[in-house]
Amino acid sequence: MPLTVLDGSTFCVCDERGDVDGLATASGFFASDTRFLSRSVLTLGGARLDPLSHDHPTPHIASFILRNPLAAGLQPNELVIERERFVGDCMEERIAVHNHSHRRVDVELGLELAADFADIFVVKSLEPGFGEPADETLPEAHPPESGGNGTLVFSDGSFRGRTVVHLSEPFDESRGVARFALSLEPGARWRLVVGVEAELEGATPLSAVSFARELDEERSRAERSLTERQRSAPVLSAG
């Protein structure tokens, strides 16, 4: 069942794993009526994770608890993975991998990424049950290019904007997959922060430090906005 994390007109539609996998046509990260990220799938040893639970405490935050697949020599329940996604004007995901086993685990974590910059109305018109079948087709998804300083950049040459993905840990990228080599001792935890910036033409490119500061400000603003809405909501009394 799709899950939507949103703040105003900026939102992300994902599955119970937290993945944006393209299986649901309308999945993705959307801003300014455009899909800035059409794929964001987390893997371990090349296989997708097994979902355990998810929580959606506020409209702009969702969290997911997952366990490792039986791949790359992994045994059941050795690794527990936590994902927390925040959506404001931009998007942030915090990923933690915890080794619950009694041995060292060496495994590759992959983050598959793509962007197609599809118009939101084209995306919605292709959804089953939306109405008459549309003649529209989705644009080709584009793999990333290195932006330097821990970033991957998506652009298609025609849309006047781009997607910038900031990754907090060193990685190798090939064929649209950011790859992280993990080596976790028993009880160890590894963390990754993924920031997604929907950048329109004319916007000033942000450094990693500036983007992190903007994300902190966005989280504070979203929390204040939610608190204000809760305070102003009418209270029903019995009687």
In a domain, 239, yes or no: no
In a domain, 235, yes or no: no
User: How many Å apart are CA 106 and CA 184, to the nearest integer?
Assistant: 6
In a domain, 149, yes or no: yes
* 14: pLDDT strictly greater than 90: yes
The answer to whether 35 and 114 are in contact (CB under 8 A) is no
* 99: pLDDT strictly greater than 80: yes
pTM recorded for the entire structure: 0.87
Q: Please list the residues that pair with 81 across neighbouring strands.
A: 66, 97
Which H/E stretch holds residue 230?
Answer: helix 208-232
User: How many Å apart are CA 239 and CA 232, to the nearest integer?
Assistant: 21
In a domain, 98, yes or no: yes
What pLDDT shows up at residue 156? 82
Most confident residue range from 11-15, 118-122, 131-135: 11-15
Q: Where are the beta strands (DSSP E) in the chain?
A: 3-7, 10-14, 28-31, 34-37, 39-44, 47-48, 50-58, 61-67, 79-87, 91-99, 105-114, 145-148, 151-154, 161-167, 172-174, 177-184, 189-200
- CB contact set of 176 (below 8 Å; sequence gap of 6+): 39, 112, 113, 114, 143, 144
The CATH number for 175's domain is 2.70.98.40
- CB contact set of 109 (below 8 Å; sequence gap of 6+): 42, 43, 44, 97, 179, 180, 182, 192
Closest CA to 29 of 47, 11, 42: 11
CB neighbourhood size of 209 (10 A): 9
What total number of domains does the chain contain? Answer: 1
Polymer length in residues for the chain: 239
In a domain, 237, yes or no: no
Q: What's the pLDDT tens digit per position in 33-46?
A: 999 999 999 999 99
Domain that residue 30 falls in: 3-230
The answer to whether 34 and 118 are in contact (CB under 8 A) is yes
Q: What's the pLDDT tens digit per position in 129-160?
A: 655 555 667 888 888 988 888 999 999 877 78
Rounded average pLDDT over 95-105: 97
In a domain, 238, yes or no: no
In a domain, 125, yes or no: yes
Phi, psi of 102 (to 5 degrees): -105, 20
In a domain, 58, yes or no: yes
What pLDDT shows up at residue 174? 93
